Structure 1
Amino acid sequence: MKKTFILTIIFLVLTSLNAQTVTYDDVAVIVNDNSQASIEIGNYFKEKRSIPEVNMIHINCSTDERVDSTEARSLINQVSNYLTSNNIASSINYLVTTKGVPYIYDAGNCDTVPGFWECSPIDQELTMVINHEENILSNSVFNNPYYDTLVPEFIQEENTFYLVTRLDAYTVDEVKTLIDRSGPDIKVDMSSAQFVFDVAFASDTSATSPFVFVIQRGNEFVQSKGWNSIYDPESGTFITEASNVLAYYSFLFQPSNKVLNFQWLRGSIAFLGMSSSAFTFLHAQNPYNDLILADLIAEGACGGIGFFGPYFMHAGTIWPEIVLNKYTYGLDTIRQSNLYFNLAESYYQSISRLPSVQIIVGDPKTSIVLGDPNDINEYDRIALFKAFPNPADANLTIEYEIKENTPVTIKLYSLFGTRVYQHNESAQFGKQSHKIDVSNLPKGLYIIELETNGLKTREKIMIR
C-alpha cells in the first residue's frame, strides 16, 4: 500500500507540471571534417539548438557510407577519446551522427545471410562507446535496460549506453528542412492528425500474417487512444495522398514509384520494416528504386527508423504500440506533464537488445504536445534556460535570459513535490547566472523551476 501511495504522488507531481524548456547540453554531435556535408549540417544543428562547442566532436575518417573494420574502429575510438579527454562522457546522453559520417560496418558480404551477422550499423555500435567497449564490433549484444519502461527521462549513466540518432537524407538541404521541422514540443492537433498503417505489400493480408498482425496491433492501439488512423487490410491498395500524417508504419518492399505524396506534419515519424530500408542515403545507391527511409525524409517526415541490411526478422520486431505509446504518451488525456518521451527515447524504448540493426534518423529531442500547430512553440519563445551540470553533485548552475528588468523566482522541488530551495531576485535585462549548493540534498530526481512574469519553465535535474 505504501509503495502504491508513493508512486501515485510521483505521478501527480509529474503530471502537474507545465511545459518545460528543453536544452541540448546533453547532446553531442559527430562531424566528419573530411565531409563538407557533415560540417554544414553539424554547424546548422549546433546553431539551431544552441549546442555547446565542447559537444561538437570532430573526427577524420572516410566519407563512404560503408567502411571496413579498421575504419570503423578508428571512427569509434576517436569519439570515445574525445568524450573522455574532454570530461563529457558522463554528461552526454545523446550522440548525433551527420551525413558524411560512415554508418555501416561492412565485413564484405552484408547482403548474404551468413555475412549479415558480420556487419552492423556504426551508429548502433556508438551506443556502447564508453561502457561496453568489449562488445563493439564483436557481434555480441546485451539486453536494453531502457526497453519499454516508464522512466520519465533517459540518463546515460543509469542505463550505461547512449541514445544515437542520425541527421541524414539525400541532400544537405533536406537535412536542414528536417531540423527546421523538428524539435521539442511540436504542437499537434489531435482531431486532424493521422496515423497511416499500410499492409498493401503483404501477399497474405489475413490476420494470420505476422506482418499484418504487427501493424494491426498498432492500429488498434492508436484508435483506442482516440487518434485517427488509415488502415485498409482488405483492398490491397497502396496508400498515397494522405494528409496530416503524424506517423507511418509499413513492412517489406514497396512499389517502385517511391511516391507517397503525403502531407507530413511537423514532428512526424516513420517506420519502414523492409529489410534494407536504410541501406543508403544516396540516390545513386538505390538501384532497385525501392521506397526507403531517405524517400520519406525527402517528402517531409521528420524522423524514422529503418534497417541497414537484409533478414531483419532475425533481429526482432519494432512493435508500433510501444513506439507510438511512448511518442504520444498521455496526449489522449491532454497531457500537461514532464512525463513524456522524445523521438530517441520512443524508438529506443522499443528495441529490446543492443546494438540493434536499425538506423534511427532525426533530432533526438523532437517531441509533440497537443495544441494549435500554427502557434509558436514554448521552446521557440524562451531564449535561454539551462541548469548544469546534469547530473549534479555539488553546485548546480542556473543560466537564463530575460527581455526586461523583472522579478525572477527560482525553485527546486523533489520528485515528491516538496520545495527544497527558493531564491527571489530582481533580475536585469539579458543573461543571468545563479548557483545552488546541492551537496546536502539526497540523491535523486528533482525539478528546477524558473518563474518570471507568470511564465514558468522547468527542467528535470538528477542529483547524485
Structure 2
Amino acid sequence: MKSATLLITVLLLSPALAVAEQASPPDPSSPYPAPCTPHPESAETGRANASDYSDVLLLINNQSQISMQVGNYFKQKRSVPDRNVCNISMPTSEWISTGQFASARADIENFISSSGLNNTLDYIVTTKGCPLGVSGGNYQYASFMDELGLILGPYAAAIGGQYWITNPFGGSEERFSRQREGIFIVTRLDGYDLRDCLRVIDNAANATGSRGTFVLDSQPWKDGTGYQEGNDWCRAANRTLTEKGWRAYLDDTPWYVVNQKNVSGYSSWGSNDGNAGNNAKPNFTWVPGALGTTYVSTSARSFAYPPSYGQSLIADLVREGITGVHGNVAEPFLGACSRPQYFLERYTRGWNLGESFYAGMATQSWQNCIIGDPKVEAYSDQPDPAVLAADIAYSEAALVEGMVINITARVRNLGGGPARDTTAAFYNGEPGRGGTQIGQDIGIALIPPGGNVSIAVPWDLGRLTGSQAVYVCITASNATPQLWDGNDRASRNATIFARPDLVLVRSRFTVSHQSPLEGTRVWLNATVRNNGAFVASSLLRFWMDDNLLSESEFSLLGSEETRVEGSWDTTGSPGTHRLRAEAVPALHEANLTNNDARVDVFVRRFGLELWADRAALSCLPGGTAGFNVTVRSLSNTAEAVAVRLSPVPGFWSGSVEPERAQLEPGASSCHTVTVSAPELALAGDRWDLRFRAEGLTGGVLEELALSVEVLPVRSVQLGCDPGEGVALPGENASFKLSARNLGNGPDTIDFSASAPEGWAVSFDRRSLELGYGGSAAVLVKVAPPDHALAGEVRDISLVATSSDGTAASLSVSVEVAQSYGFACSLGSETLTLAPGDESSTVVRVRNLGNGEETFTMSIQAGDIQASLSDPTLSLGAFTEANVTVAVRLPDRFFGDEGKVVITVRPAHSPAEALEVAVAVVWPDLVISREAITVSPPSPVEGQQVTVSVEVRNAGAARTGPFTVRLLEFGLEAGNFSINDLAPGGRATVVFTWPAASPGVHELRLSAEGAFRDPTPADNAASVSVTVAPLRVERPEPPGESGPSTVVIAGAGLLLVAAAALVAAFLLRRRPPERAPPAPDAPSDRSGFSLVGGGRP
C-alpha cells in the first residue's frame, strides 16, 4: 500500500506540484514518447469488435441491489456472455480495507481460473455498489480498479505496495492486448444514482457517429510553476486534434469555461482552476461518447448522493451526461493525472474508451478511476487511409536499366468509415529530402471501410542503376479527419541492374552447302555470347531471305556463350538466297550492332514452267476455241522441249503449233492450241485436255490442264388453249399455256404477261425447268378489274423467256361479263316530330353493277303521311341517285312513335327495305310552388297584391297557344294567353289581385293548352295568402297623444257589423270575368316576362 510518510515528506520538500496544491510526490518516470510519435501499425493489428464482449469480465456485488441492477442492465445492453458475469459478495461501502480486498481478489481470481477465462479476458467492468478504493491505514490509499487490474499477471506482486508502478500501456501506439501488456483494463459504471449509471451505458450504446467540440480549459496563471505541465497537456491536445481536422476550443484565459454545447472531449483544472464556481460544474451538454478528465486530486473520491464538496467531483460530469471520465480516488499528484493529448488522440483514432484512457495514464496500482463502458468506440467509423511497404510491388521480378515498369501499391482503409477524396503519389527517394515524384498525383474517390484500392504509375528506368528507394505517400481529405496519419507513407527498395549485351560470333556462323541442288537440306550453326553484366534471356532466329526458318530460346549469364543449330529445305527455292542468324535483343540490351551474321547460298535446279493465257474456254456446237501456252526453261543449261496434247475424245478435234522448241536457261517459247467442238454437242459437254511439255535434256515432264465447254443454245415454243375467254369483274378466265424446249440443253423458262391497266394476270407457276426437248404447261388466270364495264374485250400478251433472255409470246382475249348489285341507305334513320310537323329524309341508291339497272320504290307509312319524290330510277354502271321521302305527322296523332318503310326493288337483284323511325314529342307545361311570388306576402284588407308566376316548358316540342289562369277559391280571378313557348323556354306572368277581405285566401295558378300534356299534374300550383283586417285610427282627445282604435261596444253592435261584413264579402265574390288577351309574344318566349291582367 502506498506510503503516507513518504508523501508527507515530499509535500514538505516541494509544495508546488500536488494537484491539490499541497506538495509534490516523486515524479513518476514517464513512459511516454513525444506526443503522437509515429509508430507504424501493422495491417494485422486489429481490435475486438465493440459489440463483442466475450473478452470482458462483468463484476457484480451480490450484496448490493444497485450493483445487480446496473450489472444486469449492462449485460443485457452489451450481450455479455453468462460465463463472463462474476457475482460475488463484497462490502457495499465505497472504501474497503486491504483484508477485505484480499478476500474479494481471491474470489475473482478463482472465478476467472475456474471458468477458463484467463487467456481470453482483456477488460474488467465494475459497477456501482462495488468498492471504489482500498485503504491500508496511515494515509495509504489505492484505487480498487487499479489494484484489480494487476491480478493474475506479471505485476500482481505490486498490489498493496508502497508506491505506484509505471503503466506498461501508457503512451502506446498499438492497440491493447493483455497477453502483451500483462494487465487488465478496468473501468467502472457509477454515478449518483441508478439513472446516472444507466445513462452512462446508454450514452455508450449511442456513441457511434456523434461529433462535437473538444473543450480544453487551461489556466495561464499556473504557467511558470510546477503546474504548467497541465496547461501544456491541454495545448498539446489542441495541436494534435486541430492538425487532424477535429473542432477544438482551447481556452487559454483565466476564465473557467461553462455553458458549452455538444462537447465531445474535455480537460480542465476543475475546482483547482481558481475561477470556477458552482463546485466547478461546467453545465455542458455532451454528445454521446464524450470523454473527459479534470486535474483534481480527489475527483473520484465518492459517488454518494448528496455529495460532500471540497474539491469538484467527476460524478457531476456523469450527471450532466458525459459518457466516460477519468478521476482520482485519492491524491495522485499532477504527473499521475490522465493526459488529454493521449487519450483524446487515441479515442479519435478509433480506439475504445478503455484503451484511450489507459494510453493517457502514467501509473498503475495508484489512484485511477475510469467511468464508462471500456469498449465504446465513438470514432471507429472514422476513415484511416494507409499504405504499407508490403503492398508496394513492381511489374517485373528483375529491374534492368532501360525498362519501363509499373509500380503498383494498395491503399487500404484501416478505419471504420469511408475514406473519400484521398490523394496518392509515388516518389523515387524520400519526399522533401531530394526525392523526385514519379508520374502525377492519383485521386482516389472512395475506399470503403476495410477495403483497399490498387493504384499504379509507370516508371522509366532508362538511366537508372543501382539501389533506389520508392516511396508511396497518401494525403487524406480534410472533409473527414482520419484516425491516424502515422501510416500515410511507406517505401520499398529497388535494385536496378545494368543492361545485357548479346554478340553473335560471325566467324563461327557456318552452312553445310553453299551451292546445293534444289531439294537438298542445308545445315546452319551459330554461336552467341553475352558480353553484358545482367542475365540475357532471348531467342536465336535463322532466316532465309525474309522467311523465318526456326527460332530457339536461350538464357545466358554474363560472359556465357552457347551454340545453336538450324536447317533449311531448299525445295522450291532455286537461285541465290541469303541465310542469316539473328540474336533477338534481350530486354533493354545496350549494343545492337553485333547481333547477327549472314552468308549467301546459290540453289541449282532443272525444270520447265508452263502457263496459258486462259485455262478454260467455251464455244457453240461446231465452234472452235484457242489457247496461247508459254513454256519457260528453269534449267541451268539449254533445254530441247517437245509439246503435244492428250488423246482427243470422239467427235472433238485439237492441234498445237509449234510442237518443238530449243530453250536457253530462263528462255520461253509460245505455242497455239486449237480445239473444235462437235456439231451436235449438247450444252455442258466438255473436253478436259492436257498440254504436255517434255525436257529432252534433263528428262523433265510438265503438264498444263486446259478445258473447253459447249455453250447452250436457247429456244422455246408456246401454245395456249383456249385462245379467248369471258369473266366477270374481279373473277378469272383460265387458260392452259404450254411451252416446249427447242434448245441443246436444259433450260429454265420464266413466264410473264402484259395486260391493260387494272387487269390481273396470275400463273400457277412462274417458271418451268425443261430438259433437253422437254415440254410442260402452266395455268394462267386473267381477271378484269372491279370497274370493268360489261361487253369490254381486252387482249393479254403472254411471254415465255429462256435463261439467256430468248423470249416467245402469244395473245389471248377476254370479254367482260355483266354483274349486278346495288346498295341503298337513308340520309336520316330517325325523325323527331310533334303532331302537325313535317320533315324529310333521302334514300340513296347506288348501282354496284357494271351495266345499266332499273329500280322501283314503294312506301308504307300507316297513320303517318309519307311520299316519294321519284319512285322509279334508271342508273348506269357504278352511279347513284337520291330520292326524297317527305313525312308529315297528322295534327290528331296521339301515339308516342311510328315508322315509315321504303322498299327498293332492282330489276335483277332481291329487294331491300329501309325503315325510318318517327319519334313523337310533346310540350310539357310546368308550374311549381316555388315559381309563385306574392307581393306583399302579407297584405292588408283592400291592398292591391301582385302575383307573379313562372311557367316552364319541360317538354321537347313547342307549346302553341296556351292560357295561364289565376283562381281564387276555384273561381277565375285573372288569365293570360301566350302564343307559343319553345322547349326549355320560360315565361313569367304577373297578375294584380285585390285583397278585398281579411282572412286566408287560396290562390291557384294553372297553365292549359290544346295539346296532350304528358304530365298534367304539374300544370298548376297553389299558394295561401293571409289578408289582415283594416284598423281605423281615431282622433286623439285633446291633450292626449298616440293612436287609438275605435271599438264598437255591445254584443248587438258586434253582430250587426259581422253580418254586414259577410254580406259585403258574398257580394264581392261574383265570378270574375276573363282578362283581355295578352299581346302576341315572339316565337321564342324563353327569358321573357309576361304580365297578365287582374279582375275586369
Q: Provide the TM-score with structure 2 as the length reference.
A: 0.30
1:244 pairs with 2:273: no
1:195-210 to structure 2, matched below 5 A, reads 195-200=214-219, 203-204=221-222, 209-210=228-229
Q: Which shows bigger deviation, 31-40 or 19-28?
A: 19-28
What is the aligned counterpart of 2:89 among 56, 60, 79? 60
Separation (CA, whole Å) in 1 of partners of 2:248 and 2:449: 35
Separation (CA, whole Å) in 2 of partners of 1:211 and 1:456: 36
1:232 pairs with 2:241: no
Whichever residue aligns with residue 249 of structure 2, its letter is I
For structure 2, the residue ranges without an aligned partner over 5 or more in a row are: 1-38, 383-389, 392-413, 415-447, 452-1096
Deviation at 1:126, TM superposition (A): 0.6
Q: Corresponding residue for 1:176? A: 198
Task: Give per-residue Cα distances to partners, 1:358-411, cap 9 Å, x unaligned.
Answer: 101100011123779xxxxxxxxxxxxxxxxxxxxxxxxxxxxxxxxxxxxxxx
Whichever residue aligns with residue 49 of structure 1, its letter is R
Task: Give per-residue Cα distances to partners, 1:280-313, cap 9 Å, x unaligned.
Answer: 111245242x431100000000000011112522
Q: Corresponding residue for 2:324? A: 303
Separation (CA, whole Å) in 1 of partners of 2:169 and 2:380: 26
What is the aligned counterpart of 1:316 among 336, 340, 344? 336
Q: Corresponding residue for 2:398? A: none
Separation (CA, whole Å) in 1 of partners of 2:309 and 2:51: 41
Q: Provide the TM-score with structure 1 as the length reference.
A: 0.68
Task: Give per-residue Cα distances to partners, 1:142-179, cap 9 Å, x unaligned.
Answer: 44332222223x22122211100000000111110110
Whichever residue aligns with residue 98 of structure 1, its letter is T
Whichever residue aligns with residue 248 of structure 2, its letter is S
1:31–1:58 contact (8 Å) kept in structure 2? yes
2:300–2:369 contact (8 Å) kept in structure 1? yes
2:269–2:296 contact (8 Å) kept in structure 1? yes
What is the aligned counterpart of 1:351 among 343, 348, 361? 361
Separation (CA, whole Å) in 2 of partners of 1:316 and 1:147: 11
Q: Corresponding residue for 2:157? A: 134
1:70-219 to structure 2, matched below 5 A, reads 70-109=99-138, 115=139, 118-131=140-153, 132-152=155-175, 154-183=176-205, 186-189=208-211, 193-200=212-219, 203-204=221-222, 209-219=228-238
Aligned pairs, number = 346
Structure with the bigger percentage of helix? 1
Q: Corresponding residue for 2:23? A: none
Whichever residue aligns with residue 129 of structure 1, its letter is I
Q: Which has the larger radius of gyration?
A: 2
Separation (CA, whole Å) in 2 of partners of 1:456 and 1:249: 31
1:371-450 to structure 2, matched below 5 A, reads none
Q: Corresponding residue for 1:396? A: none
Whichever residue aligns with residue 40 of structure 1, its letter is Q
Distance 1:318 1:24, change over 3 A: same
1:29 pairs with 2:58: yes
Whichever residue aligns with residue 343 of structure 1, its letter is L
2:230–2:295 contact (8 Å) kept in structure 1? no
Separation (CA, whole Å) in 1 of partners of 2:93 and 2:67: 12
Separation (CA, whole Å) in 1 of partners of 2:271 and 2:41: 47
Separation (CA, whole Å) in 2 of partners of 1:150 and 1:204: 30
Distance 1:171 1:21, change over 3 A: closer
Distance 1:310 1:50, change over 3 A: same
Distance 1:27 1:21, change over 3 A: closer
Distance 1:358 1:21, change over 3 A: closer
1:270 pairs with 2:292: yes
1:261 pairs with 2:283: yes
2:351–2:380 contact (8 Å) kept in structure 1? no
Distance 1:34 1:323, change over 3 A: same
1:256–1:291 contact (8 Å) kept in structure 2? no
Same amino acid, percent of matched pairs: 26
Distance 1:104 1:159, change over 3 A: same
Distance 1:266 1:138, change over 3 A: same
2:351–2:379 contact (8 Å) kept in structure 1? no
2:41–2:173 contact (8 Å) kept in structure 1? no
Whichever residue aligns with residue 305 of structure 1, its letter is H
Task: Give per-residue Cα distances to partners, 1:1-41, cap 9 Å, x unaligned.
Answer: xxxxxx97944x779x9x95630111111100000010000
2:292–2:326 contact (8 Å) kept in structure 1? yes
Separation (CA, whole Å) in 2 of partners of 1:146 and 1:8: 17
Separation (CA, whole Å) in 2 of partners of 1:253 and 1:212: 15
Separation (CA, whole Å) in 2 of partners of 1:243 and 1:276: 26
Distance 1:160 1:8, change over 3 A: closer
2:141–2:367 contact (8 Å) kept in structure 1? no
Q: Corresponding residue for 1:223? A: 242
The SS at the match of 1:369 is: coil
2:296–2:312 contact (8 Å) kept in structure 1? no
Whichever residue aligns with residue 55 of structure 1, its letter is N
Structure with the bigger percentage of strand? 2
Separation (CA, whole Å) in 2 of partners of 1:9 and 1:344: 19
Distance 1:86 1:20, change over 3 A: closer
Whichever residue aligns with residue 238 of structure 1, its letter is Y
1:317-332 to structure 2, matched below 5 A, reads 317-329=337-349
The SS at the match of 2:302 is: coil
Q: Corresponding residue for 1:452? A: none
1:363 pairs with 2:382: no
Distance 1:228 1:102, change over 3 A: same
Distance 1:216 1:57, change over 3 A: same
Separation (CA, whole Å) in 2 of partners of 1:107 and 1:269: 31
Separation (CA, whole Å) in 2 of partners of 1:133 and 1:210: 31
Separation (CA, whole Å) in 1 of partners of 2:259 and 2:298: 24
Deviation at 1:321, TM superposition (A): 1.1
Deviation at 1:230, TM superposition (A): 2.1
Separation (CA, whole Å) in 1 of partners of 2:316 and 2:243: 30
For structure 1, the residue ranges without an aligned partner over 5 or more in a row are: 1-6, 110-114, 330-339, 373-415, 418-446, 448-454, 459-464
Task: Give per-residue Cα distances to partners, 1:235-264, cap 9 Å, x unaligned.
Answer: x22211101100110125253513322110
Distance 1:20 1:49, change over 3 A: closer
The SS at the match of 1:164 is: strand
Distance 1:98 1:215, change over 3 A: same
Deviation at 1:206, TM superposition (A): 6.6
The SS at the match of 1:170 is: coil
Whichever residue aligns with residue 359 of structure 1, its letter is C
Task: Give per-residue Cα distances to partners, 1:342-366, cap 9 Å, x unaligned.
Answer: 0000111122332232101100011
